[in-house]
Amino acid sequence: MAELKQIIASMPSLRLTVEAHGLMAKKTLGQNFLLDSNITDKIIRTSLDNQHRKSFAGMHIYEIGPGPGGLTRSILKATPDKLTVIEMDERCIGIMEELRAKTGNIMEIINGDALKFDFGHTENIPRQIISNLPYNVSVPLLTGWLKNIDRFAALTLMFQKEVADRITAPLCTKDYGRLSVLAQLQCKITRLFDLNPECFVPAPKIWSTILLFEPAATPLTTPQINKLEKLTMQAFAQRRKMIRQSLKSVPALEAKCAAAGIPLTARPEEISPQQFLSLSASL
């Protein structure tokens, strides 16, 4: 373990690496880089602390969008058994290859689109995803992982703060919506900390937030998720309307809502994730 830490400590700084590879950030790829190892180390340390773990030993970590590799270095220092990085930008692959050459054969490098990556069903060691997510695809990526949350032991993900607010939104708030319902049913979500724009190169306009997702004891099945999604889409499509109106196409709505403990006069943001689940089960 100490050896890997020493190897990484002896590497050129990230700023030098970025310069050597001429890696100018591309907006189209949602590139805002973290070049300060104090910050990337803090992300990993805080995630591990919250999981009551000292390292990633015995785990397979997947990092989405490693970019110049700051977070990648911090992940490697926490000694996973295996690290797979999935990066769309070919310019970053050379940097990853240099890192792999230094850190041995635990790294697998995939040059591709994480939206198309199939994690498959099982593996003999637990898997975690860690990412400073490209903001333009963060919600579709998260939704895909939430639908298959039983494949993962945890997700440590950085979002634009307003997206993190939607994911963690409590009932009866303007941010509460379909994403909050699915995420809160599938996971226990912990807000780790916020980062101000100056932590990134280039600095975005908004703050960022890191969330830790730990799967619920009994995640939903695919048929349950399909029903839930259909229902929440219908209800939140008219979020100012009472469900008596927005869900009027549901047969025997009154009896089904009564069984789920939902008044017909409720608006969607007043219906808890568990109530949405109960109602969707009766559809």
* Binding stretches for ligand SAM (CB under 6 A): 29-34, 64-68, 70-71, 86-89, 92, 113-115, 132, 134, 137
Q: What angle do CA 66, 67, 69 make, to 5 degrees?
A: 65
Q: How far is the CB of 225 from ligand SAM (least distance, A)?
A: 23
Q: Which is nearer to ligand SAM, 200 or 236 (CB)?
A: 200
Q: Which is nearer to ligand SAM, 204 or 250 (CB)?
A: 204
Q: Which is nearer to ligand SAM, 114 or 262 (CB)?
A: 114
- φ/ψ (deg, to 5) at 83: -130, 120
Q: What angle do CA 69, 138, 213 make, to 5 degrees?
A: 85
Residue 202 exposure: Cα atoms within 13 Å on the Cβ side = 10
Q: How far is the CB of 134 from ligand SAM (least distance, A)?
A: 3
Q: Which is nearer to ligand SAM, 29 or 216 (CB)?
A: 29
CA distance 156 to 154: 7
- The position carrying tokens 């198309």 is 116
Q: How far is the CB of 73 from ligand SAM (least distance, A)?
A: 10
Q: How far is the CB of 84 from ligand SAM (least distance, A)?
A: 12
Structure-token pair, residue 26: 């591309």
Q: Which is nearer to ligand SAM, 164 or 279 (CB)?
A: 164
User: Which residue number is nearest to ligand SAM in terms of Cβ?
Assistant: 65
CA distance 257 to 101: 59
Q: How far is the CB of 4 from ligand SAM (least distance, A)?
A: 19
Question: Which residues are paired to 33 by β-bridges?
Answer: 201
